[in-house]
Structure 1
Amino acid sequence: MMKKTIAILLFLGMVLGLAACGKSASQTEQPTTEEDSVESRSSMEEAAENSSTDAENMGVPESQPEETDIPDAQESKVLIAYFSATGTTKGVAEHIANGLNADIYEIVPEDPYTDADLDYNNNNSRATIEMSDPDVRPVISGSVENMEQYDIVFIGYPIWWGEAPRIISTFVESYDFSGKTIVPFCTSGGSGMGSSAANLEELTNGAQWISGQRLSGSDTRDTVMEWVNGLGLNFE
């Protein structure tokens, strides 16, 4: 009887011991404190972050702000070309060149004009003979370097017998002005531009001619630039 009682007690002790071990194992597998829960969430977030990083490394595109292409402002290249037999047109041309900080080019005849050549009262003077023949083309000494770089070309000249001197015809026929803007201006003792600009325009192809202006050798730079700035062209 005693032995049977001892056996029952030992059996109950083993059952209780196994139950305690099972409960301990169950408690180890599950977090029982707030700290354990936070650590568990941190591990899950880290895993998700690593997954996102892996996706980027595998070529999954990352959201990028849209880029906007802003073209650089283009500056118009300006040339002031002029012919001046007595210096009057030269002064006006220099006002424009200085006011626009533009390049300047003097149209110089290979055979310079003398005072006798410019004697308008002499029917046999060089100027008189040239202006009586629209096909005359006086030779120019030198040329404009890299004319293709200019977007706007001012062409200045004195008025001879209501027209531009024939050397200006030589000049406009010497270059390709296609796509360029041409602004004529003239000086004279009193007469206007007349048909001088229109006749020159006929000698060019593909150029945009702006209505010209007669200016005086006594005009100040401010007066000349008031006209230039009123043309509505892009000099910036």
Structure 2
Amino acid sequence: MSTLVTYFSAEGTTAKVAKEFAEMIGADIFEIVPVEPYTKADIKWTNPLARCNKEQFGKKDVPVQGKIENFEQYDTIYIGFPIWYGAAPRVVNTFCQGYNWTGKKVMAFATSGGSKIGKTAEKLQPYVTGAASIDAKLVSNSYEVKDW
């Protein structure tokens, strides 16, 4: 069994942490990419009509590009994302729905400039049904993920 680091990054912060962390531990890596990429206007959370707000509050699925081959080979999956309203962005939830999480250890790491981790693990749990465990932590760098 092996480890996978997956991530969604809106502005590059999460990508940097995920890539450094995956390299540190020798894990495979997969970027969660929405079919329709986000623009700066899409993620401007102060605009109530911004795409990120419509998706979060409307609980909309956000189609994802690509698929992880041989997902069953991984026993530990790290999922990185910027935290939006104390939860994973909807694109992460949609990504998670496409896999069998039975028996897997899920470690969600969130990057954020101002939000808290809140109930992120609880909110992600319905999308990783069957996971052996799920935990979430707010981080600012790859060492905080490694030292978890």
| Shared fold (TM-score, shorter chain, > 0.5) | yes
Equivalent pairs, count: 148
In 2, Cα distance between equivalents of 1:142 and 1:222: 28
In 2, Cα distance between equivalents of 1:223 and 1:183: 12
TM-score (norm 1): 0.60
SS in 2 for 1:112: coil
In 2, Cα distance between equivalents of 1:152 and 1:223: 17
Please tell me whether residue 213 in structure 1 is matched to residue 137 in structure 2: yes
Residue number in structure 2 paired with 1:83: 8
Residue number in structure 2 paired with 1:43: none
Identity %: 42
| Preserved CA contact (<8 Å) 2:125 2:134 | no
| Preserved CA contact (<8 Å) 1:201 1:209 | no
Matches within 5 A, 1:214-233: 214-216=138-140, 219=141, 221-227=142-148
User: What whole-Å deviation, never above 9, does each CA across 1:188-211 have from its counterpart, x for those lacking one?
Assistant: 013221112211112232212242
TM-score (norm 2): 0.93
Residue number in structure 1 paired with 2:45: 120
Alpha-carbon shift at residue 226 of structure 1 (Å): 2.1
| RMSD, matched Cα | 1.3
Matches within 5 A, 1:114-193: 114-134=39-59, 136-193=60-117
Distance change >3 Å, CA 123–CA 222, structure 1 → 2: closer
Alpha-carbon shift at residue 223 of structure 1 (Å): 4.1
Question: Is there any run of 5+ residues in structure 1 with no aligned partner, and where?
Answer: 1-75, 228-236
| Preserved CA contact (<8 Å) 1:158 1:186 | yes
Q: Which has the higher contact order (CA 8 A, sep 6+)?
A: 2
For 2:29, the aligned partner's letter is: I
Question: Is there any run of 5+ residues in structure 2 with no aligned partner, and where?
Answer: none
